[in-house]
Structure 1
Amino acid sequence: MLTLYVIDTCDTCRKARKALEDNGVPFKTHDLRKDGLSAELLEHILERVPLQDAVNKRSTTWRNLPQEDKDSLDATSARQLLLEHPTLLKRPLLDTGGDALKVGYRAGDYDKLSS
């Protein structure tokens, strides 16, 4: 079964969820804010998504970080920040169970998925 990693208040996440529902694709939802982001889940994601693609540098959370945290971002500090602030993870993330995760959503992205 597909897993859609979201934050409930994210408009793009809502659009992605609706697209899956409209296409009749079964999926489960994991809300990063409510359900959390464990170290194991983060590593699962980062095995499939490059770190630079996983950090949402357009988020309010990113903008509110101290400048020194942003300037010194490396693989270790990024992992720590993502665990402390799951809303820094780009979303939605669609896990199809394969080798890659689909990061983000644009209309039509899920049209080829079927139930």
Structure 2
Amino acid sequence: MTVYGIKNCNTVKTAMDWLKQHNVTVDFHDYKTKGITAAKLKEWSKQVGWESLVNKRGTTWRQLDESEQAKVTSEKAAIDLMMEKTSVIKRPLIEQNGKVIALGFDEAAYVKVFKK
């Protein structure tokens, strides 16, 4: 199981702490140091939709000017943006065996996904 995110993100920290407290072992993939491929983003987009992957509530999105935001109307445009600015990817994203099992942090959803 791999958690994708950014080490300094508070939501990622909260999710990682929750996973640790519940004895869920994960690998961590930091977008800032390891990047992300267009192929991986496309794979996720097929599973959860590109609209879900773009974090429009985050600082990175809000810092884009309106014309840049307006260009994000397709999967290709979203993937191009996420490749250029990995901070705009909603996080954390948790993948197991190639399948997205969680996006963002919602404790109730985590309880359902990770209950043993």
TM-score category of the 2 structures, normalised to the smaller one: 0.7 to 0.9
Q: Give the partner amino acid of 1:101.
A: I
Map 1:12-27 to 2 at 5 A: 12-27=11-26
The one-character-per-residue Cα deviations of 1:15-40 (angstroms, maximum 9, x if unpaired) are 11111111111110111111111112
User: Following the alignment from structure 1 to structure 2, what is the Cα–Cα distance between the partners of residues 110 and 96?
Assistant: 14
1:59 shift after superposition = 1.3
Map 1:82-101 to 2 at 5 A: 82-97=82-97, 99-101=99-101
1:99 shift after superposition = 4.1
Map 1:1-80 to 2 at 5 A: 2-75=1-74, 76-80=76-80
Q: Are residues 92 and 70 of structure 1, via their aligned partners in 2, closer, same or farther at CA, if it must alter by over 3 Å? A: same
Root mean square deviation, CA, Å: 1.8
Q: Which has the higher contact order (CA 8 A, sep 6+)?
A: 1
Determine what percentage of the aligned residue pairs are the same residue.
Answer: 30
TM-score, L = length of structure 1: 0.87
Where does the alignment leave 5 or more consecutive residues of structure 1 unmatched?
none
Contact 2:55/2:88 (8 A) holds in 1: yes
The one-character-per-residue Cα deviations of 1:51-81 (angstroms, maximum 9, x if unpaired) are 1111001111111112111112222211110
* Alignment length (residue pairs): 114
User: Following the alignment from structure 2 to structure 1, what is the Cα–Cα distance between the partners of residues 32 and 47?
Assistant: 21
- Secondary structure in 2 aligned to 1:33? helix
Give 4+ residue runs of structure 1 displaced > 4 Å after superposition: none
